[in-house]
Chains A and B, each alone.
Chain A
Amino acid sequence: MPKLIRWRGDRAEAVEDPFTSIDDDQVIPQGDVIISLRRFQSEGAFLLGQCRQVGVRLAADETPEALDADLARIAVVALVFPKFRDGRAFSAASILRDRLGYQGEVRAVGDVLLEQAKFMVRCGFDSFEPADGATPGQWTAAAHRFRHVYQRAADGLEPVFVERATGHETPG
């Protein structure tokens, strides 16, 4: 099984990926699978009725709101970065976490690069398939490069205006 980077607590680690990502023209094998939104809409109910975990892959132009009713039963939402410059998935992840209250795995797939690690972690992604071969160690370091954050996000970090109000010291 291919390696996957999982974010646990405040660090990244390598884990075996129990899911197989299935294209629309592939036959669905046994085991846990990630399928497209279209396929989920036609076959999702059937697959969820079997004893396996199902994840849904959202293209950059698909919205997480489309999954709302089924979210509680979906194990993984995989958000696609068609190019690293295409930042739509950052909004999709934020909406999944902050608005829809999704607790499952939010996975970054596609053109996923180390330089975006901190943005992804902040928006609520918790698993990553780096396209640049980044290691968990690099991922952890990149996500922790900044001691403070200026705004609230899905990671729940205390923004600077809260730090200031509570008089926390600047570490380091």
Chain B
Amino acid sequence: MKALTANRLTDGEVVFWKQGQWLDRFADAELFDDEAVAEAAEAHAKTQVTLLVEPYLIDVAEVEGGVAPVSYRERLRALGPTNKPEHGKQAQGGAQIEILAHAHGAASSKGRIDLIKRK
């Protein structure tokens, strides 16, 4: 399973794709079973240059109680910093936040890992 994420240009907020819209909560993210559909959405997102910074697909997997991003980094993006539980998306609480907070057993991190590489 995949989800499509990015940071919003104007404020850097983490956003998730849902049928052409960009929403703040991972709970609202559209989950793609079909790789080709996911890639088509990503290709469209890459044209939205005044709306987004660096849209990319993330891996999502079933975990206890629901679904969560596979990588630890992506779960943090969907939650907020662990040293300030009152900040970030986690502050709203809710079932999906609980699922994300308790997910574990990550596979390889994917995401914005090549930021300082050049070229």
A85 to B119, CA, bound (A): 10
1/0 per residue, CB under 8 A from A, across B88-119: the answer is 00000000000000000000000000000011
Residue numbers in B under 8 Å from A85 (CB-CB): 118
Q: Closest residue of chain A to B118, judged by CB?
A: A85
What is the interface size of chain B, counting residues whose CB is below 8 A from a CB of the partner? 2
**Interface SS of chain B: helix, strand, loop or mixed?**
loop
Residue numbers in B under 8 Å from A83 (CB-CB): 118-119
**Interface SS of chain A: helix, strand, loop or mixed?**
loop
1/0 per residue, CB under 8 A from B, across A79-92: the answer is 00001010000000
Residue numbers in A under 8 Å from B118 (CB-CB): 83, 85
Interface residues of B in 47-105 (CB under 8 A from A): none
Residue numbers in A under 8 Å from B119 (CB-CB): 83
A85 to B118, CA, bound (A): 9
A83 to B118, CA, bound (A): 10
B117 to chain A, nearest CB (A): 12
Q: Closest residue of chain B to A85, judged by CB?
A: B118
In the complex, 3 of the A-B residue pairs with CB atoms within 8 angstroms, ordered by the A residue number, are A83-B118, A83-B119, A85-B118
Residues of B within 8 A of A (CB): 118-119
The 3 closest A-B pairs by CB, nearest first: A85-B118, A83-B118, A83-B119
